[in-house]
Amino acid sequence: MQQMADVVQGMASLLARLMIAVVFASAVVNKVTQFSSTAAYMASEGVPNPKFALFGAIGLLLLGCLSLILGAWTRIGALFLFVFLAAATFYFHDFWRFTDPGQQQLQTIQFMKNLAIGGGLLSLAAFGGGPWSVDGWIAIKQEEAESTPKTRATAKT
């Protein structure tokens, strides 16, 4: 029974990491292919030093996506993506600033969507990538190494 639970947990954690990574990977493609227009839009939204910020955003997104996909340094990668998401949400989905009800509703929905994704990222940061990840594989190898009896070198006389 435990073996089945481990398989389900491994599959679920892998699927969760991949689903979240897809969201951010598509953002990387968009930001790289539309760099100038994205930087201009960022400037119009009040992002300080938009080209520099965009390079930083792309870096956070790339490192975070790779980390989640591989499950390597998952907690750090999830935090990178969380930092990106928090900044993007603050600058681009500031629903409290809109007076038009339609725009306010749209930005509220986007804000809440990002809130949910942020919760998933914080969950990954708290609990790691799961058993089907590089992090999980390393943890298994460490447990095996710690449980293996150490052999003492015999002193020659």
Residue 58: the pLDDT is 98
Residue 127: the pLDDT is 95
Q: What's the rounded Cα separation, in Å, for the pair 58 and 153?
A: 51
Residue 149: the pLDDT is 76
Task: Output the 3-class SS for 27-55.
Answer: HHHHHHHCHHHHHHHHHHCCCCCHHHHHH
Q: Which residues of 95-118 are buried (b: 16+ CB within 10 A; e: fewer)?
A: beeeeeeeeeeebeebbeebeebb
Percent of the chain scoring above 70 in pLDDT: 95
Q: Where are the domains of the chain?
A: 2-129
At 58-102, the pLDDT tens digits run 999 999 999 999 999 999 999 999 999 999 999 999 999 999 999
pLDDT at residue 152 is higher than 90: no
pTM value is 0.88
At 34-49, the pLDDT tens digits run 999 999 999 999 999 9
Tokens standing for residue 14:
């892998």
